[in-house]
Amino acid sequence: MTEKNLISLLTKLERTQDLSDEEFASLLEADSSAFCAELALRARNTRERYYGKDVYIRGLIEFTNYCRNNCYYCGIRRGNERAQRYRLTYEEILACCKAGYQLGFRTFVLQGGEDSYFTDERLAGLIRAIKKSHPDCAVTLSVGERERDSYEKLFEAGADRWLLRHETADKAHYESLHPAEMSWEHRLKCLRDLKSIGYQVGCGMMVGSPGHTTAHLVKDLRLLQELQPEMVGIGPFIPQQDTPFADQPAGTAELTLRLLSIIRLLLPQVLLPATTALGTIDPQGREKGLLAGANVLMPNLSPVSVRKKYALYDNKICTGEEAAECIRCLSGRVASTGFHIVKGRGDHPGFKRKEGR
């Protein structure tokens, strides 16, 4: 396809938030740096139309690396005997929130493996305690698949948002990344349940995981279009040395950036993080992500003593410094892009806060 035709596809995507499968595939495969620059520029203009120069921050608390699942790509999979397991106490988690609050965070993301210690009752107690100390903050959970009644209980306890990446929208591809005890249908059911309960929902894929093709990516984009999530978290797959995928090639920053821009044009108001995995695969990855349409950063608030143990993939950045140093470093990086970090919950513009939440 000529550059002119590719650029007219961008205009069509901006106008209609839709393209045919073949047209999406052309955007994903186009081999032209001029086109990529135009794509990023248009994505940036769209993000600025809704969010100006603002960048939202979320304080990520990686509170447990125990996991009952055995995903082939993930460093905290249950079968990884070399993982040093940890679980933060209530007091430690609340101390992370308190320190984060003082640094300006108004969203806390509790992320972890699927740890059966954290029953609904325990998680609900934790959410209530955070909300009691910080009623002006949003609480996001990212602890995997649960049943609908469990999602309901946690929503009633005050959780506002849920991040659950779909990883890949192709069932056969999903099955090649996960053992047979996990199901693609269940993951999708979870996402639909979360949405209908009233959570602001984040899904997303791991870019360039083993066997990930352009046809799969087109399905990923279609799924985003159908689910209309409030957030989309994407990052490159990065091998982890103690997993079955240790020797698989990593996904690329280039494709991740291209996808960030396409997603921005597809879902203009979406909350789109420039992820730690993107910053790991490319030292300037997060800055490039912001310049390609992303508008969220998720710095780590976990205690430094556990950070290296939450090793989803190798060479993860920001595992050595305290949260205060992290935010100082990030503020400088953000300023270099012409954007700035803002305080505030940073809800999706289409989201109406319910009374008492």
The residues binding ligand SAH (CB under 6 A) are 73-74, 111, 113-114, 142-144, 164-165, 167, 206, 235, 237-238, 240, 277, 312-313
- Residue 24 CB, shortest distance to ligand SAH, in Å, is 21
CB atoms within 10 A of CB 16: 8
- State how far the Cα of 115 lies from the Cα of 134, in Å rounded to an integer: 25
Dihedral in degrees, nearest 10, Cα atoms 22, 23, 26, 32: 170
- Residue 326 CB, shortest distance to ligand SAH, in Å, is 18
Contacts with 77 (C-beta within 8 Å, 6 or more apart), sequence order: 67, 69, 70, 71, 83, 243
- State how far the Cα of 313 lies from the Cα of 279, in Å rounded to an integer: 12
Residue placing its CB nearer to ligand SAH in the complex, 240 or 337? 240
Residue placing its CB nearer to ligand SAH in the complex, 74 or 294? 74
Residue placing its CB nearer to ligand SAH in the complex, 30 or 203? 203
- Residue 23 CB, shortest distance to ligand SAH, in Å, is 27
Determine the angle formed by the axes of helices 214-227 and 184-197, rounding to 10 degrees.
30
Check if the beta carbon of residue 142 is closer than 8 Å to that of residue 110.
yes
- Residue 115 CB, shortest distance to ligand SAH, in Å, is 9
- Residue 129 CB, shortest distance to ligand SAH, in Å, is 21
Give φ, ψ of 323 to 5 degrees.
Answer: -55, -40
Residue placing its CB nearer to ligand SAH in the complex, 167 or 193? 167
Check if the beta carbon of residue 281 is closer than 8 Å to that of residue 252.
yes
Closest CA to 179 of 78, 277, 248, 311: 78
Residue placing its CB nearer to ligand SAH in the complex, 74 or 292? 74
- Residue 310 CB, shortest distance to ligand SAH, in Å, is 9
Residue placing its CB nearer to ligand SAH in the complex, 207 or 291? 207
- State how far the Cα of 299 lies from the Cα of 105, in Å rounded to an integer: 10
Radius of gyration of the chain from its Cα atoms, rounded to whole angstroms: 19
Residue placing its CB nearer to ligand SAH in the complex, 19 or 202? 202
- Residue 328 CB, shortest distance to ligand SAH, in Å, is 25
